[in-house]
Amino acid sequence: MLKKLDPIIHSELRLAIMSLLISVNRADFKYLKEETESTAGNLSVQLTKLEEAGYIKVEKGFKGKMPQTTCSITKMGIEAFEKYVEDLKSYLKM
């Protein structure tokens, strides 16, 4: 029986965000936007969904006088991502 894939991570953009954050641990909004080639609005919505799930932490602050949003993956996010990858592997073994 196939395992159910985590619907929070399974979205293309959310999967891209999680993949980036698992490799860099921390990234600012501009970096995530450029790497995922998403719009600011769509990225913001997907970051909120990941944050509400407890998979990432979003911090808002300032760099000089410019607002800056920084995201990092949480322990729960790392565990969820690793489980997602293992569950996906079970699909590939069929």
Q: For the segment 28-72, what is each residue's pLDDT rounded down to a tens digit?
A: 999 999 999 999 999 999 999 999 999 999 999 998 888 899 999
In contact, 92 and 18? CB cutoff 8 Å: no
Single-letter amino acid, residue 49: K
- The per-residue pLDDT for 2 is 77
The fold for domain 7-84 equals Arc Repressor Mutant, subunit A (1.10.10)
> Model confidence at 3, in pLDDT bands (50, 70, 90)?
confident
E-only strand ranges, the chain? 26-28, 56-63, 66-73
- The per-residue pLDDT for 94 is 65
pTM of the model: 0.92
Spatial separation of the C-alpha atoms in residues 43 and 35, rounded to whole Å: 11
Spatial separation of the C-alpha atoms in residues 21 and 18, rounded to whole Å: 5
Spatial separation of the C-alpha atoms in residues 62 and 80, rounded to whole Å: 30
Phi, psi of 60 (to 5 degrees): -110, 135
How many degrees, rounded to 5, is the angle at CA 36 between CA 33 and CA 42? Answer: 60
Spatial separation of the C-alpha atoms in residues 51 and 73, rounded to whole Å: 9
Percentage of the chain beyond pLDDT 70 is 98
- The per-residue pLDDT for 91 is 87
